[in-house]
Amino acid sequence: MNLWVDNLRKPPDGWTWAKTSSGAIDALCFGMVERISLAYDLGGRDTTSSVVFWMRENRMWPREICVHSANPAGVEWLTRMIDRHRR
């Protein structure tokens, strides 16, 4: 499965859309996500940082991880955490 995590931008064809961090984590729990693309901000206080923390804690990393966020600080944080903890 390809998982697009973003509350505003629509996913490309062939991607499942999660608009919240909890929706993304629910999808990841099935262990079938092969590719994930992350925005950082998901509205209000919701961010994909909780998704990255969940992947780290559960050692469940998709084969391919992309960051498509428009938030430069969010891109830096996501990229740093993914690079540091993904095995």
Query: Cα 73 to chain center, whole Å?
Result: 15
d(CA 11, CA 54): 22
Contact between 56 and 43 under an 8 Å Cβ cutoff? The reply is: no
Taking only the tens place, the pLDDT of each residue in 29-87 is 999 999 999 999 999 999 999 999 999 999 999 999 999 999 999 999 999 999 999 97
d(CA 87, CA 83): 8
pLDDT of residue 2: 98
Helix (H) or strand (E) holding 36: strand 35-38
Taking only the tens place, the pLDDT of each residue in 8-38 is 999 999 999 999 999 999 999 999 999 999 9
3-state secondary structure of 86: coil
pLDDT of residue 87: 73
